[in-house]
Every structure is written in structure tokens, then in C-alpha cells.
């Protein structure tokens, strides 16, 4: 682990390998550790970079809304800090996908390709916004523990919950390293994010969508709708995986990303 020291916070990150840069953006309420199978495996083929977003993992927290634009700008600053001028592959999961859309809108010229995982282009529904407001109130009152237990049950597939206790505990431990500021800031940022659907037809880089068949947080139909609108896009659906297919089906996920980047 290393740190990039920015004016307002310190961003922790891991990097490994050489060649084509792949920047992995984690989801909520997670950190770079969720990408360990990818860091270990794909660094044999590429220059893998996995940051902790502000307030997550080993990165220091800040107060206020963690907008998707702000978090995208943090990622661009990390690339500048690492002197990476080469076009990158950007891989974002869930909230990391929302950040990827913000990054693509702002810095499309920095992208070689996109990998969108367990995410959607649509904004929150009114019901979704209300649920996030409830989560913010709960976190302020009781801390992050009840948020984590609710998320565990929702992000993992029934198969994983029943048969892979080690993975369930690993995800729990990753989530426990998220600050209260980040939980609240993320929820506010996701609640306020814009509709990315009108932007999809402007995505001019090759795009791979990977989605877990058992994902109930973001149904497969959302992935299919994105595939229909992004010009150069393919969709892979993974069995026995829900909202964290990179962990629940890591070998198949890594193989798909490896094959995808070989075509670039």
C-alpha cells in the first residue's frame, strides 16, 4: 500500500504489474481490498491500480457530500500523481460504475476502455432516494454496523451466503473499514447523481459489462439496457454471483477482463 498526499486528504492505493493501466474503483461501502483477486491475477498482464476512495479503507475521510464527480476527480488526480498519461481501462463496480460514468463525461480522452460491473446508468428512483435518506439517518443514530449487516445480505448471492462463510466474513471485514463520513457522504452523492442514460451513446471506447445473474440490488435488465445504448459493448452474465461478481466468480471475471483487454 502507498499514499498519494492531496491537499484535503490522503488517498491510499495499491499498484502492481506493468503495461496497460487498469484503474479499479470499488463500490459502497467497500475499499480496494475487494479487488484483491484482480490485483493478484491481472497484474500479470497489466498495470493494476486500486485506490481507496476518500474515507474508505486507509484513505482519510473528509466531511460533506461525496459526489460522483468529486470521486471521479480524485481518481484523475491519482493518475496525475502517478504520472500516467497513457489511456487507461477503467473498471468500476456499483458506485464505482457511477463514478466511472462521471469520469467518462469529464475525461473521456483518458480512457482506452470501460468495464462496468453490477451498476446502472439510471439515477435513483424516488423510493431509492428515500431508502438512502433512511440509511443516512440510521448511520447517524447507530453507526455503520446495522448498515453493514443489511448490505451483506443484499450484495451476496444465496449460494455464497449458504456455502462460502469465509467470503461472507471477508466482505464484512472490508465494509467495517469504512468511515461514518464516507457512508453518509457516499449515500448523499449517490442520491444526488445525475441520469447517465443520455450519455451512453457518446461512450466511444470499447465497453464490457459484467453482471451477476443473482443481483437483486441492480437487476440484469439494467445491464441489458446499458448494452443496448453503448455503441461498442458486450455483456457477460455470471452464474452464482450477485452484486460482487468479481469476488463471487473471480476466476471467470478475471478471464473475461483479460480477454477483453487483449482486444484493445
* pLDDT per position as a tens digit, 20-47: 999 999 999 999 999 999 999 999 999 9
* pLDDT per position as a tens digit, 114-170: 999 999 999 999 999 999 999 999 999 999 999 999 999 999 999 999 999 999 999
User: Rounded to whole angstroms, what are the CA distances from 71 to 83, 101, 181, 186?
Assistant: 19, 11, 14, 10
Q: Where exactly are the structural domains of the chain? A: 2-262
- Provide DSSP, 244-259: -HHHHTHHHHHHHHHH
Q: What is the pLDDT of residue 213?
A: 97
Q: How far is CA 41 from the centre of its chain?
A: 18
Q: CATH number of the domain at 2-262, out of 3.10.105.10, 3.10.450.50, 2.60.120.560, 3.40.50.1820? A: 3.40.50.1820
Three-state DSSP class for 218?
A: coil
Three-state DSSP class for 89?
A: strand
Three-state DSSP class for 35?
A: helix
Q: What is the pLDDT of residue 147?
A: 95
Mean pLDDT of 197-217: 98
**Averaged pLDDT of the chain:** 98
CB of 167 within 8 A of CB of 249?
A: no
What is the sign, positive or negative, of the torsion defined by CA atoms of 55, 61, 67, 72?
negative
With cut-offs at 50, 70 and 90, classify the pLDDT of residue 212.
very high
pTM of the complete model: 0.98
Q: What is the pLDDT of residue 244?
A: 99
CB of 212 within 8 A of CB of 94?
A: no
Number of H helices, E strands in the chain: 11, 8
Q: What percent of the chain has pLDDT over 90?
A: 100
End-to-end Cα distance, the chain: 28
Question: If residue 37 lies in a helix (H) or strand (E), which one and from where to where?
Answer: helix 36-42
Neighbours of 81 (CB within 10 A): 15
Amino acid at each position: 500500500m502507498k499514499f498519494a498526499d492531496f491537499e484535503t486528504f490522503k488517498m491510499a492505493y495499491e499498484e502492481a504489474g506493468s503495461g496497460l493501466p487498469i484503474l479499479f474503483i470499488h463500490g459502497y461501502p467497500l475499499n480496494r481490498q475487494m479487488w484483491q483477486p484482480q490485483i493478484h491475477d491481472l497484474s500479470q498482464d497489466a498495470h493494476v491500480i486500486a485506490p481507496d476512495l476518500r474515507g474508505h479503507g486507509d484513505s482519510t475521510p473528509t466531511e460533506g457530500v461525496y459526489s460522483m464527480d468529486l470521486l471521479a476527480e480524485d481518481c484523475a488526480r491519482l493518475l496525475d500523481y502517478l504520472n500516467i498519461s497513457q489511456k487507461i481501462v477503467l473498471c468500476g463496480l456499483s458506485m464505482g460504475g457511477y463514478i466511472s460514468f462521471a469520469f467518462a463525461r469529464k475525461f473521456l480522452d483518458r480512457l482506452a476502455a470501460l468495464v462496468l460491473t453490477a451498476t446502472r446508468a439510471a439515477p435513483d428512483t424516488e423510493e431509492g432516494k428515500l431508502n438512502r435518506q433512511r440509511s443516512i439517518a440510521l448511520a447517524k443514530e447507530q453507526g455503520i454496523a446495522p448498515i453493514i449487516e443489511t448490505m451483506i445480505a443484499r450484495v451476496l448471492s444465496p449460494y455464497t451466503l449458504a456455502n462460502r462463510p469465509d467470503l461472507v466474513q471477508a466482505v464484512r471485514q472490508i465494509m467495517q473499514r469504512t468511515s461514518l463520513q464516507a457512508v453518509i457522504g457516499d449515500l448523499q452523492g449517490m442520491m444526488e447523481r445525475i441520469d447517465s442514460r443520455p450519455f451512453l451513446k457518446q461512450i466511444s471506447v470499447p465497453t464490457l459489462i459484467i453482471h451477476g445473474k443473482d443481483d437483486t440490488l441492480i437487476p440484469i435488465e439494467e445491464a441489458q439496457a446499458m448494452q443496448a445504448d453503448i455503441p461498442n459493448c458486450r455483456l457477460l452474465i455470471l452464474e452464482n454471483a450477485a452484486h460482487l461478481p468479481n469476488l463471487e466468480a473471480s476466476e471467470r471475471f478475471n478471464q473475461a477482463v483479460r480477454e477483453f483487454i487483449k482486444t484493445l
